[in-house]
Structure 1
Amino acid sequence: MTFNEPAQDRDEATTPELDTALDSQPTAQASVVASVPRVVLVGPPGAGKSTIGRRIASALNLPIVDSDLLIEQSEGKACGEIFSEVGEERFREIEAGCVARALATGGVVSLGGGAILTASTRQLLQRHTVVWIDVSPEEGIRRTANETSRPVLNADDPAQHYRDLLATREPFYREVADYRVRTDQRPPQRVVAEILGIIESSEE
């Protein structure tokens, strides 16, 4: 999927913040009409994907599907606990299955920060409108400073670890994203308004 750089310019010029969503669009697969998300949110930990997704879903009167919640419902325990018990490789396998389920639903979909590390997930995202909810390293570090539920962020030097995590994942966010919206120092309602505009323009 081609990353749409003009969306980044719009973000920086208008200073909006987070949130995204879309409604159901019919698509035929094996003679079955299924719903697809109107928008999919990706981005690093602390960017605000879940908060934004809920706000946009509410604004559009659509369901919100969070892949992390699907994982927890499927496995009966918190994502952090699963990650610690089975390791990242197995966790990503479980996650990929839940992401595929999420992408077969209508509404707004919010993916876990590391979901884009899996090649099969990146391939699936080529079929969808994807918004990269981004945050600066400094702000992301501040927002996740007291996080204890994300083993992927555990490190002796959390700040440097977060920067390294962003450096590793940014190429994948760019690969899958159609639009990019930054959330630093922005009220959520302005971000929601921008993304609603993105949704509207993408459907024209």
Structure 2
Amino acid sequence: MKVVLIGFRGTGKTSVGRILASRLGLPLHDTDALIEQRAGMPIPELFRQHGEAHFRALEREVVASLRAAEGVIGTGGGAVCDPANVTDLRRHGRVFLLTAPPGIIHERIAGSDRPGLTALPPEEEVRTLLLRRKEAYLGAADICIDTGRRTPDEAAEIILGQIHGESVRSPDERRERDNLLSKFGLETVREMVDRDPGLMVCGIAGNPCAHSRSPLLYNRLFAHFGMNYHYTRFEWPDAGVIIRLATLLPLKGLSVTIPFKTDVMRHLDEIDDHAAAIGAVNTIVWCGGRMYGHNTDWLGVQIPLAHRQGARAVVLGAGGAAAAAVYALRTLDMDVTVLARRPEAARTLAERFRCRWGALEEFKGGDADVVVHTTPVGMEPDIRSLLAPCDLERKTTVFDLVYTPPETPLIRAAQEAGCETIPGTEMFVHQATEQFRLITGIAVTPELVREMLA
């Protein structure tokens, strides 16, 4: 058994770790103590003589040495900011994030001889570093426990209950969960969760979402990284019902697809700046009973088009995917025009990002260096394309965000016209790379994602 405790200094990792190790009859591995052994000096002296970079390198070596270890592992406060550490800590382990309010943390660590990591006053440093590390903490964790008003014994009892499979659900909630899983056709998920209380669940929420390749990708990645996770589909016409079911499961993350990217936002506790600007969420991270919304679609557009920075771009469509595309193109300093079947929808989107707009019929190939298609037209089994080869010019880069099939009617038309083409699979790869990091804390490469999709 491998139990990992992460979190900021002063959240109780050492005290809780000792209790857990004793109760479980397991060795305790304190990464800071192991670093001091390797360095032959206390950590404050290590910082003074060699600096933080040297400390982080030793920390990485220590964490890697514990990759296959059994026991309770207590980590330093910044350990999970390095995705390589998260990969090693997560392998065949359960990760518990201990949290506490900034003021309580400051009180607990006051008087420590540890050097500061910033030039800020101590309490302000705590708040700043907590905010800076927030995504890393939430992503790396399976379970989040607030220790601010709990004793170490109380926090340890909660963790032991999780490890021993004690249900935190009332009988009524379990019946509701089972009824919803039956309605969704997910009886297999119920059996898996009941059989293995340590299993964490992720999924894609959409209607439809049967075409999605996310379950294939995620389940292969989970196996690759030795994670006790399962990814499924939540296909239902009501986003609120999906969210309710998710709260009744040991769920860590959701991918969100059409038509829920805007609708789910009203159910969330926090939304990041990118998702708020775009007005759509495609990624939800659960931790400590709170739901955090993100948007990674824009990166799936930005990264493949970085070589066309400053170009003239036309976005076809005015929905949630179009908003992510316009946002991405504007970060690349592109001159953007939005064209849609409903001009009023194009106008609404364009005015948000201060760009031009019009009807689909107004498309002129000579006015576009880049064309980004964001509508569902061309998605299997649809065989239509909004543009024909004669509409396009050779100098144009055509990016179709539809990825089923990999070669869409629009991609074929663009190839016939001699255009550079970018298939929707590239958007999927790059947005999934960032989404996996947000949900798990593990950084994967686009090459690994493509390999897993093959």
| CA drift at 1:86 | 1.3
Q: CA shift at 1:154, angstroms?
A: 6.7
Number of residues paired by the alignment? 167
Aligned partner of residue 46 in structure 1, secondary structure: coil
Q: Deviation per CA, 1:23-77, whole angstroms, max 9, x where unpaired?
A: 3xxxxxxxxxxxxx2x100000111101100011011111100001111111111
The aligned amino acid for 1:102 is L
1:126 positional shift: 3.4
Percent identity reads 37
C-alpha RMSD over aligned residues: 1.6
TM-fit CA distance, 1:103: 3.2
- In structure 1, give the amino acid aligned to 2:154: R
How far apart are the structure 2 equivalents of 1:106 and 1:76?
25
Matches for 1:185-200 after TM superposition, within 5 Å: 185-200=149-164
Whole-angstrom distance in 1 between the partners of 2:6 and 2:116: 16
| Structure 2 residue corresponding to 1:141, chosen from 61, 83, 106 | 106
- Please say which of residues 135-144 and 120-129 is displaced more in the overlay: 120-129
Mapping 1:101-180, distance limit 5 Å: 101-127=65-91, 128-148=93-113, 150-152=114-116, 155=119, 157-180=121-144
How far off its partner does 1:125 sit?
A: 3.0
Partners of 2:48 and 2:164 in 1: CA distance: 40
Q: How far apart are 1:79 and its partner, in Å?
A: 1.4
- Deviation >4 Å, runs of 4+: 153-156
- 1:103 and 1:199 map into 2 onto residues whose CA distance is 19
Higher relative contact order, chain-length normalized (CA < 8 Å, sep 6+) = 1
1:94 is aligned to 2:50: no
Q: Deviation of residue 192 (structure 1)?
A: 1.2
Unaligned runs of 5+ in 2: 166-196, 200-454
SS in 1 for 2:164: helix
Displacement after TM superposition at 1:83 (Å): 1.8
| TM-score, L = length of structure 2 | 0.35
Output aligned runs, 1:43-82, within 5 Å. 43-82=7-46
Q: How far off its partner does 1:186 sit? A: 1.4
Question: Are 2:16 and 2:153, in contact at CA under 8 Å, matched by a contact in 1?
Answer: no
1:85 aligns with 2:30: no
1:191 alignment partner, SS class = helix
Counterpart in the other structure of 1:31: none
Q: Secondary structure of 2:106's match?
A: helix
Structure 1 or 2, whichever has the larger Rg, is 2
Q: State the one-letter code of the partner of 2:20.
A: I
Q: Deviation digits for residues 181-200 of structure 1, max 9, x if unmatched? A: 01112122221111001112
